[in-house]
Structure formats: C-alpha cells, structure tokens
Amino acid sequence: MQKMKKNIIELKNISVKFDDDVILDDLSLSIGDGEFVTFLGSSGCGKTTTLRIIAGFLEPDSGEVFFDSKNMSGVPPYKREVNTIFQRYALFPNYNVFENIAYGLRVRHVPEAEIKQKVSEMLTLVNLEGFEKRHISKLSGGQQQRVAIARALVLKPKVLLLDEPLAALDLKLRKDMQNELKNIQKALGITFVFVTHDQEEALSMSDTVVVMNEGKVQQIGSPIDIYNEPKNAFVADFIGESNILDGTMKADYRAYFSGREFKCLDAGFGVNEPVDIVVRPEDVDIVKRGEGMLDGIVTSVTFRGVHFEIIVDIGGFKWMIQTTDEHKPGEEVGLFIEPDAIHVMKKSKYSGKFGDYSSYSDELDTLNQLPEDEDDE
C-alpha cells in the first residue's frame, strides 16, 4: 500500500485586506511534501500575496500558516525553511557565478571546502559547469535564472517558492526552463510552489494546480482534472479555450442545449436543473451539413500553425472549433459532439460572464426552451 505524503504547508482561513480591497478571502489549502504546486490566476487574484505569506514577508490580517504542523505566526522569513526566487533574480552584479551561489553558505560560515563541494553540486544540477568565474553581466537570461535557482537550492530549503520566474524569458527559452525546473524538482524531491498567470505553464509543470480569482480558490486538482473537469465557468474559460453554453439537465446522462438533447457522461443533477455546458474546441468534429447534431455557417477561419481555428455560427451562438482540416468562411457545416466531449457544471456567480453567452439573446432563449412534449420524460 502506497504511503500518503504528509502536508508540509497548511494555510487556514487566511484573509488579507489592503485598505478596502479584499486580497485574500478566507483562503484555506494544503500543500503536500515533495509536490510541485502552482498558483494560477490573473493579476490581482491573490496568488503572489499567498506566496509572500508562506515566505513570511507578509503577515495575514487573520488566519494561520503551518509548516510541518508548526504554527509560523510571527516567525520571520530567515527562520523559515523556505527560499524564494523572484521574477527579477536579484543576483549580485559585482559577484561572479560561484560567489553568487556561495553567498548564503558564507553568511552561515560554512567551511570553504564544503562551500566548494556544494557549489559544484549546484552547478552540475543546473547545467552550468565551467561557469564558476563568469561575470553575471556576461550571462544570458536563462543562465542568470539558473544561477538564481542554484543560489536558492544550495541552502537545501524544504520548500522553494517561485514568483513568476519565467515571465521575462522569450517563448522558446521559457519552455526549455519549464522542463528544467520540473526535472530539478523531481531530482531533489523538495516542494516547489510556483506562481504564474500562464495556463500552459501551469498545466505542463505541475502536480497540482490551484486556480485563484478574487482572493478565493476556485479549484484545486491535477492539470488533467482542472482542464477536463472545470468546476465553474471561470475555470473553464481561464484554462484554455471553451464553448460555454446555457443548458438544462433533463435527467442523468441527458443534457439539453442549443435546441436539442445530447447524451453526456454527467449525472447527479436535478431534473430540468439549469446548468452550464462546456465543450472544448478540440473535441468538436466538423462534418457535412445534416450529418452532425448541429448545423451552422463558418464565419471565420484563422490558421494557428498546428491547427485551424474555425468559428461557426449556430443560431447566433459562435462556436469555436480547432481542427487540422481547412474550411472556408460561408461554408455550411455540421458539428458532431461525442458524449464524453460534453462537461456539465452547476450554475455559479460566473455563469453568463465567460464564453459566447449569446444564449441570453432572445433568439437563443427561444432555441433553448424545452419542447413541451418532452417535459414529462
């Protein structure tokens, strides 16, 4: 039987206000030992504030922080077994690579022979062997980041906090560093807590993703669960592209939207309960008109490199479909949707705010009304 990992960090009922603005609103969550956890959200959602509270740079107005089951209230940053890497790496420009990495060890009066050994280990870990005497100004952005990572890890913290450390890098280098960070985390087995607004970054690197908005946790789960089973319209819209429609659950495994009933895999809703329907663009097949569940007209086509992004108007609702097959504006097409492509969510405060919610137009309100002869089924 596999042993469950213990929680290394626990946040309980954390609240923070700046003047009249609520930054964190009664936030609670746990982080497992050895996990790669990412706080994901747009600017102002509270993700960086949460990181600063874990680090000890900010005390919450209310709530408690536990580290290895110990209450950390009032414990300063330097007494916490965490280290932080910021977007601006804060390297010492007058020191070379070796001295930047060795700085924390020298502050702790570690013997010189041990410093050389530990710095050498870190240089190997971040693939910078031979760069010991290189001046910081002579390094690329990616190399500087590796130095920052090595400097943070040489002190062997139990938790590494990373506040959008890849944001300043170009796309290719950012993707390379995503892989490197994940490999380093796996090699060391320590907890990484990563902050980003980049959905792809969060999905590709993390064991667990914490989606945040308005100072609250919207959903916690694995990248696959967050993408395939979003909890509400905000998560569905924020994580990738989504077609989000008004619908009604007729019964278990039967959803009604866009003027017709569909088979789905969801159950446990009330009969005729209003719901939000999510269909990912890559899960819709374009077929000949009359051969699918829905018929519409292609209104725009955009080539994205790996696929075409097709917009199809069906009764005023603009569907997005991602496909490798090219279609032309004005073409009449059908849409085929498998049951496992349909995800049903309960209504929330975010319903109607995301996706093409043209179902609120008179045209779609009429289209989405249940046929009278089906009400008693």
> Could you give the C-alpha distances from 161 to 116, 153, 158, 211, in angstroms and in order?
25, 11, 10, 17
Percent of the chain with pLDDT over 90: 71
Query: What's the confidence (pLDDT) of residue 356?
Result: 62
Q: In whole angstroms, what is the distance from residue 29 CA to residue 20 CA? A: 24
- Assigned token pair, 375: 């009400």
| Cβ–Cβ < 8 Å for 232, 206 | no
Q: pLDDT tens, 345-373?
A: 999 999 887 766 333 333 334 434 444 44
Q: In whole angstroms, what is the distance from residue 231 CA to residue 252 CA? A: 18
Q: In whole angstroms, what is the distance from residue 281 CA to residue 322 CA? A: 5
Confidence of residue 230 (pLDDT cuts 50, 70, 90): very high
Query: What's the confidence (pLDDT) of residue 375?
Result: 40
Question: Helix or strand or coil: residue 93?
Answer: coil
Residue bearing the bigger pLDDT, 193 or 187: 193
Out of 3.40.50.300, 3.30.300.30, 3.30.465.10, 2.40.110.10, select the CATH number for domain 7-228: 3.40.50.300
Question: Helix or strand or coil: residue 191?
Answer: strand
pLDDT over 70 at 23, yes or no = yes
Which residue matches tokens 């950012």?
A: 174
| Cβ–Cβ < 8 Å for 326, 342 | no
Q: In whole angstroms, what is the distance from residue 335 CA to residue 294 CA? A: 5
pLDDT over 90 at 249, yes or no = yes
| Among 261, 297, 255, 304, CA closest to 278 | 255
Which residues sit opposite 295 in a β-bridge?
334
Residue bearing the bigger pLDDT, 345 or 172: 345
Q: In whole angstroms, what is the distance from residue 237 CA to residue 355 CA? A: 7
Residue bearing the bigger pLDDT, 5 or 316: 316
Q: pLDDT tens, 145-158?
A: 889 889 999 989 99
Query: What's the confidence (pLDDT) of residue 355?
Result: 64
Query: What's the confidence (pLDDT) of residue 4?
Result: 61
Query: What's the confidence (pLDDT) of residue 122?
Result: 92
| Among 220, 255, 253, 257, CA closest to 239 | 220
Q: In whole angstroms, what is the distance from residue 220 CA to residue 280 CA? A: 20
Which residue matches tokens 């792809």?
A: 200
Flag the least confident range among 3-7, 145-149, 177-181, 276-280: 3-7
Residue bearing the bigger pLDDT, 85 or 194: 194
Which residue matches tokens 């039967």?
A: 254
Cα–chain center distance at 63 = 25
User: Global pTM?
Assistant: 0.85
Domain ranges of the chain: 7-228, 243-370
Query: What's the confidence (pLDDT) of residue 256?
Result: 97
Q: Which CATH superfamily hosts domain 243-370?
A: Nucleic acid-binding proteins (2.40.50.140)
Which residue matches tokens 């320590």?
A: 190
Tell me which DSSP letter residue 96 carries: B
Mean confidence (pLDDT) of the chain: 89
Q: In whole angstroms, what is the distance from residue 117 CA to residue 216 CA? A: 44
Q: In whole angstroms, what is the distance from residue 36 CA to residue 40 CA? A: 13
| Among 280, 253, 376, 360, CA closest to 368 | 360
**Region 59-69 average pLDDT:** 94
DSSP calls for 352-363: TTSS--GGGSHH
Q: In whole angstroms, what is the distance from residue 249 CA to residue 255 CA? A: 5
